């Protein structure tokens, strides 16, 4: 199963945000073990670095990004993808970009804690739902 992990889930790990860090960490482990193919949007990397750097300094930010790049695949977007996101009808442009990246990179699901921003969009799961799906499908 190939999944796009939203920035907020990654930041749950980086910033040790309770109670979300536990399931986010489990998803990271599943990606490390190749149980899932975990992807991150290339647009998320600089945001993640910036936020970690702000909270924990540049060394921690560099180490975390290095670990991310060792574990996850990057999923990209081009000019046409950005245009599609602009005209998607979604209220939040960043969320629209994430959804377009998910679709254009052949991901089976987008994993986010902000499901309310994706009303009516198929294959949007929160981390708990993805973990349950993996268990039920015996992946």
pLDDT in tens, 67-112: 999 999 999 999 999 999 999 999 999 999 999 999 999 999 999 9
Q: Which of 78, 91, 15, 77 is closest to 40 using CA atoms? A: 77
pLDDT at 85: 98
pLDDT level of residue 139 (50, 70, 90 thresholds)? low
pTM > 0.95: no
The predicted-structure confidence for 28-45, as pLDDT tens digits, reads as follows: 999 999 999 999 999 999
Task: Provide the pLDDT confidence category of residue 127 given band limits of 50, 70 and 90.
Answer: very high
Quick one: pLDDT band at residue 14, thresholds 50, 70, 90?
Answer: very high
- CA–CA separation, 97 and 86 (whole Å): 8
């Amino acid at each position: 199963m190939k999944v796009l992990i939203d920035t907020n889930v990654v930041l749950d790990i980086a910033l040790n945000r309770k109670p979300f860090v536990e399931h986010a960490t489990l998803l990271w482990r599943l990606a490390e073990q190749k149980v899932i193919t975990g992807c991150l949007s290339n647009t998320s990397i600089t945001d993640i670095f910036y936020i970690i750097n702000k909270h924990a300094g540049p060394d921690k930010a560099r180490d975390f990004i290095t670990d991310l790049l060792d574990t996850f695949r990057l999923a990209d977007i081009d000019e046409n993808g950005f245009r599609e996101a602009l005209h998607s009808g979604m209220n939040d442009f960043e969320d629209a970009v994430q959804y377009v990246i998910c679709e254009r990179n052949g991901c089976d699901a987008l994993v986010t804690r902000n499901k309310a921003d994706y009303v009516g969009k198929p294959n949007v799961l929160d981390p708990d739902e993805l973990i349950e799906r993996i268990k039920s499908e015996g992946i």
